[in-house]
Amino acid sequence: KNEVEQSPQNLTAQEGEFITINCSYSVGISALHWLQQHPGGGIVSLFMLSSGKKKHGRLIATINIQEKHSSLHITASHPRDSAVYICAVSFGYDMRFGAGTRLTVKP
Amino acid sequence: DAGITQSPRHKVTETGTPVTLRCHQTENHRYMYWYRQDPGHGLRLIHYSYGVKDTDKGEVSDGYSVSRSKTEDFLLTLESATSSQTSVYFCAISETDSVQETQYFGPGTRLLVL
């Protein structure tokens, strides 16, 4: 069983919809990361958080350490948000990644 | 964008041949990482380095070796490539460890072992 589980695996939304991607983990962590992988393959870090909530533009990330759960929300989704979103947990040098959620936003 | 390049970007090789992938950074970051990405598995750590000549194994290190003789370069070698090593390989860097700071990823290398 993977230490990091994401749901859903695939998500299709209409432009403007509110989107939520979930991440659950089974190990003790020091920080949790959300990454975005573009259709061309490049990987960009969106957030790193160890508690509470962070917001950047239309993206919001939350984490509940006690429940070992994090969510990534996208408000007012847009076709350019179409990408694979990856959750990862870190402890020391090591990072463990979820398999990713493929998001497609249709106009 | 962090200054990270990977070479080659694409490579096709035959089973049993040695392959070396290069990661080059211009950020002078201390930590460098090699990952592989396979469908259904997500990214998995192969090896990492926490300084020149200081390296350690990751989750899937069997069949791979690394070297870091300069801060800016981290080499990944497949001594004798196998078809199971067909994958997309990503290099990443960070100034501090992944608890304190995010990692910055290179563009990736697609490797096909026939």
pLDDT, average across residues A86-98? 86
Amino acid at A86: I
Mean pLDDT (chain A, rounded): 93
Q: Which residues of B touch A86 (CB under 8 A)?
A: 42-43
Residue A4: its pLDDT value, please? 93
Q: A81 by DSSP, 3-state: which?
A: helix
Q: Which residue has the tokens 């390989």?
A: B89
Six token digits for residue A88: 């990862």
Task: With CB atoms and an 8 Å threshold, state whether A43 touches B42.
Answer: no
pLDDT, average across residues B13-24? 97
pLDDT beyond 60 at B26: yes
pLDDT, average across residues A68-86? 97
pLDDT band for B102, please (50, 70, 90 cuts): confident
Q: Minimum mean pLDDT among A59-68, A88-97, B7-16, B42-51: which range?
A: A88-97
Residue B6: its pLDDT value, please? 98
Residue A90: its pLDDT value, please? 86
Nearest chain B Cα distance for residue A76, angstroms = 26
Spatial strand order of the sheet with A59-64 comes to: A4-7, A19-25, A69-74, A59-64, A52-56
Residue A30: its pLDDT value, please? 83
pLDDT, tens digit, 9 for 90 and up, residues A29-42: 889 999 999 988 89
Give the pairing of strands A59-64 and A69-74.
antiparallel
pLDDT band for B2, please (50, 70, 90 cuts): low
Task: Kindly report the three-state secondary structure assignment for every residue of chain B.
Answer: CCCEEEECCEEEECCCCCEEEEEEECCCCCEEEEEEEECCCEEEEEEEEEECCEEEECCCCCCEEEEEEECCEEEEEECCCCHHHCEEEEEEEECCCCCCCCCEECCCEEEEEC
pLDDT beyond 90 at B77: yes
Within 65-84 of A, beta carbons closer than 8 Å to B belong to none
Rg of the Cα atoms in chain A:
13
Task: With CB atoms and an 8 Å threshold, state whether A31 touches B98.
Answer: yes
Residue B97: its pLDDT value, please? 65
Nearest chain A Cα distance for residue B38, angstroms = 9
Q: Which residues of A touch B51 (CB under 8 A)?
A: none
Nearest chain A Cα distance for residue B105, angstroms = 6
Residue B39: its pLDDT value, please? 86
Q: Which residues of B touch A92 (CB under 8 A)?
A: 97-99
Percent of chain A with pLDDT over 90: 79
Rg of the Cα atoms in chain B:
13
